[in-house]
A and B are shown apart, each in its own frame.
Chain A
Amino acid sequence: MNLFAMFDVSGSALTAERERAEVVASNMANADTTRTAKGGPYQRQEVVFGSTPVGGSTFAERLASAADGSVQGVQVVKVVGDPTAPIRRFDPSHPDADAQGYVSYPAINPVQEMVDLMGASRSYQLNVSAMQSTKQMIQQSLEILT
């Protein structure tokens, strides 16, 4: 059942893209958040993708996949904060305004987030297409027997 490894590779990409879309959605939702549990405005988050061995539920299969190294899945290694300084807007009546009357807003550009979301969505689509191709390949090989 080696052809099923392609399902696992595409599946890992789907999981990674979903997580990326989640992070983007979080950024968009918190574009105007001025207070967080850590204190200060919300910090824009970014995902870091890393390759990972996939395939199989048993240890031997995973070891073989890791040793082979040619077929790699993808996973979200970590979510990092964007170190860009927050945007300061003058709004003295705001409860989170500082002594000078400025409020710190997260440095989030909705257009950039939207483009990122489109990228995640398109990548998801791409990997679903790869999965469908895999399925068609398996079905075509089954038709040899008929």
Chain B
Amino acid sequence: MTNTIQGLPSFDPGEFQQKVSGTSTSSSDSSSGFWDTLKDTLNQVQHVQNEADQKVTDLVTGKGEDIHSAMAAVEKADLSFQLVMQVRNKIVQAYQQVSQIQF
């Protein structure tokens, strides 16, 4: 990965994923590391949301016994989604800043 902007440390997505998820990527597929991380995060958020959905369904169909556990699950899903949205906003912001570079 060539560092076109001088003075900035080079960003290695594979290394980033290694730091984030704690798993070592043996294959040096550095082009998909970040997107894998993003996909994993999205899958996790999807899982949390499915859980919340299941809890609410259980509650309204009379299977669940605790209102608060359903509420907590919904809150967890909401917060996870907010986190993903913040990360997405930051990525879009970074992309827009790069796309506006003029020489």
* B54 in contact (CB, < 8 A): no
For residue B72, which residues in chain A have a CB less than 8 angstroms away from its CB?
7-8, 10-11, 131
Per-residue contact bits, chain A 7-45, to B (CB 8 Å; 1 contact, 0 not): 110110011001000000000000000000000000000
* A90 in contact (CB, < 8 A): no
Q: Is the CB of A142 within 8 A of B75?
A: no
A146 to B90, CA, bound (A): 8
For residue A139, which residues in chain B have a CB less than 8 angstroms away from its CB?
79, 82
Closest CB in chain B relative to A11 CB, distance in Å: 5
Main secondary structure of the interface of A (DSSP, over half): helix
Q: Is the CB of B76 within 8 A of A7?
A: yes
Closest 4 CB pairs of A and B: A14-B68, A145-B86, A11-B72, A7-B72
Q: How many residues of B contact A (CB 8 A)?
A: 15
For residue B86, which residues in chain A have a CB less than 8 angstroms away from its CB?
142, 145-146
Q: How many residues of A contact B (CB 8 A)?
A: 17
Residues of chain A whose beta carbon lies under 8 Å from any beta carbon of chain B: 1, 4, 7-8, 10-11, 14-15, 18, 128, 131, 135, 138-139, 142, 145-146
For residue A131, which residues in chain B have a CB less than 8 angstroms away from its CB?
72, 75
Cβ 8 A contact of A138, one of B44, B68, B79, B90: B79
A sample of 7 cross-chain residue pairs with beta-carbon separation below 8 angstroms, ordered by A number, consists of: A1-B80, A4-B76, A14-B69, A15-B66, A131-B75, A135-B79, A142-B79
For residue B82, which residues in chain A have a CB less than 8 angstroms away from its CB?
139, 142
* B83 in contact (CB, < 8 A): yes
Q: Is the CB of A135 within 8 A of B69?
A: no
Closest to B66 in A: A15
Q: Is the CB of A15 within 8 A of B79?
A: no
Q: Is the CB of B83 within 8 A of A142?
A: yes
For residue B44, which residues in chain A have a CB less than 8 angstroms away from its CB?
1
A13 to B79, CA, bound (A): 21
For residue B69, which residues in chain A have a CB less than 8 angstroms away from its CB?
11, 14-15
Closest to A141 in B: B83
Cβ 8 A contact of B75, one of A7, A15, A18, A146: A7
Q: Is the CB of A18 within 8 A of B76?
A: no
Q: Is the CB of B79 within 8 A of A18?
A: no
Closest to A145 in B: B86
For residue A8, which residues in chain B have a CB less than 8 angstroms away from its CB?
72
Residue from B44, B75, B76, B79 with most neighbouring chain A CB atoms (10 Å): B79
